Amino acid sequence: AKASGSMQEPGVTASLWEWSWPSIASECPRLGAIGYDGVQVAPPQDSVKRTSTGNGSDAYLHPWWEVYQVVDYGLTSRMGDEQQFRDMVADCRKAGVKVYVDAVINHTTGQGNVSYGGKTFTPYTYPDAGYVPDDFHYTVGACPSADGGIADFNNKTQVWNCNLVGLEDLRTETPKVQARLAAYLNKLLRYGVSGFRVDAGKHMAPADLDAIYDRLDRTKDGKRPYWALEVGPGSPGVLSPEAYTEHGDVLGLDGVKQIYGAFTSYSDHQGDISGLATFGSGSGLTRSSRTMSFITNHDTNHDQANALTYKEGPQYLLATEWLLADGYGSPQVFSSFTFGADTNQGPPSDDQGLIDRASCADGRWTCDHAKTGVVGMVKFHQYVGKAAKKHVYADQQNVLAFSRGTKGWAGFNNGTSAKTITVKTGLKKGTYCDAVTGGKVKGACAGTTVTVSGSGRATVELPARAAVAFTKQTRL
Ligand code: LM2
Ligand code: CA
């Protein structure tokens, strides 16, 4: 078991996915001021740079997914160069924000022959990473499928040893590959990184993951690095997310679907969020202390079918606010670029595929992490801490409300019209400012005001597809 008491806890993070390093460096002071504990960044290692488009729907020269095809472990990437990465980590740490890296360690590439760093490669041979054909499962005959791909997601040998969507699968069981990968991750730790989202975690045997983790140094803060494994649902036994919780935290991908279902209901797109009164281990998910939770990530964002995304507008924000209030897992807020109907579309880039500076002003980047309601709920989340959920109110018609002990109260309305509810809040008599509409600023409410009576009850109007929340901290 890898996750232990001394492992870095991520708290609340923002995933500024495919933001350039200089953009993240300048955003970190704001992240720190809002109350984010950390930022997760896209894969920083050198990756394939396409020189021609694919066929049919694969018509973007530089789709977002280039960064998931590893060529070497120098940090020249679409997001910036190695010095810019180091400066970004230093700036974020100065702002009190820890940096978590999306670590692509299961595979190399599946196409192309040149990288952003100008390195060349051929199939199964990567001179700059030091890989030769013997370092891959397929080449040594260790993948049992007919075409070298994963045909059966219930077969652990295929899932661990075959090429995921054609990506050349590393022999992560060998000391040579483990040492190479650990050297990469240890370099990042030396630069001040606090841990990793392990890409394609399900596609590595737990023993390999443990062996790599055992080779890692401590963070600059003296902790064991955070280690969150990407383990998609839907396979049996040792391939299940639950099984992988013995080897690190896991990403809450089953939770993403449950949240989507509750908010949008497949039949009428109205859904009922009252059901989210039961969420977490009570609804069959991996336990809170072992889970990184979120509403969407870069994959579900592009897949569109099983997750709320920025395209759902108010419902996406409402769900994000709810997750921060609920307290399940270590919540992560996803914030990236907008895109059209073609889900391969990459981030705003110049014609070299290098990513532009992110701006919250021009509509190309969503900046959901800095929207007023999300900011208010990050503060709410940090303030209520681990206080138990109490006074749960669920009308089975798209409204859910609860307190977090005696520290805060939050109500959510996923319906298309406003609703007024009268509830017990768990809080003392007083006048409170709603955190979602801006909280308390210089002794006054920026937005909505809520009055709690002597009996701890309040009558609250919940606007359509919106939340109202307050804490002792937002009391006038
Ligand atoms: C992941 N987790 O396990 C990432 O979260 C996911 O975004 C990655 O897929 C995947 N695993 C590999 O790291 C993405 C994207 C794929 C894309 C790959 C590699 O979802 O569509 O595959 O990155 O760039 C692309 C093409 C695919 C082609 C492959 C190899 O879409 O058609 O397969 O490259 O050439 C023949
Ligand atoms: Ca593998």
CATH 2.60.40.1180 placement within the chain: 389-474
CA distances for 154 relative to 171, 203, 284, angstroms: 20, 12, 20
Per-residue model confidence (pLDDT) at position 382: 98
By the 10 Å C-beta count (0-12 exposed, 13-18 middle, 19+ buried), 154 is classed as exposed
Q: How many CA atoms lie within 13 A of 474 on its CB side?
A: 32
pLDDT, average across residues 147-154: 96
pLDDT, average across residues 356-364: 92
Per-residue model confidence (pLDDT) at position 447: 98
Instruction: Using pLDDT thresholds of 50, 70 and 90, give the confidence band for residue 358.
Output: very high
CATH 3.20.20.80 placement within the chain: 13-251+337-370
Instruction: Using pLDDT thresholds of 50, 70 and 90, give the confidence band for residue 216.
Output: very high
Residues 6+ apart with CB under 8 A from 454: 429
Which ligand is closest in space to the CA of residue 123? 1
- Please give the Cα distance from 231 to 286 (Å, whole number): 11
pLDDT, average across residues 334-341: 95
Instruction: Using pLDDT thresholds of 50, 70 and 90, give the confidence band for residue 303.
Output: confident
CATH 2.60.40.1180 for domain 389-474, yes or no, is yes
ipTM higher than threshold 0.85 = yes
The yes-or-no answer on residue 199 being catalytic is yes
User: Does 384 score more than 60 pLDDT?
Assistant: yes
pLDDT, average across residues 260-277: 81
User: Does 131 score more than 70 pLDDT?
Assistant: yes
Q: How far, in Å, from the CA of 81 to the mean position of ligand 1?
A: 23
Work out the mean pLDDT of the chain and round it to a whole number.
Answer: 96
The yes-or-no answer on residue 362 being catalytic is no
Instruction: Using pLDDT thresholds of 50, 70 and 90, give the confidence band for residue 269.
Output: low
- Please give the Cα distance from 27 to 422 (Å, whole number): 40
**Domain at 13-251+337-370, CATH homologous superfamily:** Glycosidases (3.20.20.80)
- Type of residue found at 404: R
What is the per-residue pLDDT across 409-456, written as a single tens digit (0 to 9) for each? Answer: 999 999 999 999 999 999 999 999 999 999 999 999 999 999 999 999
Nearest to 61 by CA among 70, 71, 69, 50: 50
Mutate to test the pocket of ligand 1, among 17, 101, 167, 251 (most ligand atoms within 8 A of CB): 167
User: Does 188 score more than 80 pLDDT?
Assistant: yes
Q: How far, in Å, from the CA of 26 to the mean position of ligand 2?
A: 36
- For residue 297, which atom of ligand 1 is closest to its CA? 5
pLDDT, average across residues 119-125: 98
Per-residue model confidence (pLDDT) at position 56: 83
Residue nearest to ligand 1 atom 27, measured at CA: 165
- Please give the Cα distance from 7 to 290 (Å, whole number): 11
Q: How far, in Å, from the CA of 345 to the mean position of ligand 1?
A: 13
Q: How far, in Å, from the CA of 110 to the mean position of ligand 1?
A: 9
Mutate to test the pocket of ligand 1, among 40, 51, 165 (most ligand atoms within 8 A of CB): 165
Per-residue model confidence (pLDDT) at position 428: 98
Per-residue model confidence (pLDDT) at position 192: 98
- Ligand 1 site, residue 69, Cβ cutoff 6 A: yes
Instruction: Using pLDDT thresholds of 50, 70 and 90, give the confidence band for residue 57.
Output: confident
Instruction: Using pLDDT thresholds of 50, 70 and 90, give the confidence band for residue 270.
Output: low
Residues 6+ apart with CB under 8 A from 114: 48, 49, 51, 120, 121
Per-residue model confidence (pLDDT) at position 267: 52
Instruction: Using pLDDT thresholds of 50, 70 and 90, give the confidence band for residue 1.
Output: very low
pTM over 0.95: yes
- Ligand 1 site, residue 315, Cβ cutoff 6 A: no
Per-residue model confidence (pLDDT) at position 5: 63
- Ligand 1 site, residue 149, Cβ cutoff 6 A: no
Instruction: Using pLDDT thresholds of 50, 70 and 90, give the confidence band for residue 393.
Output: very high
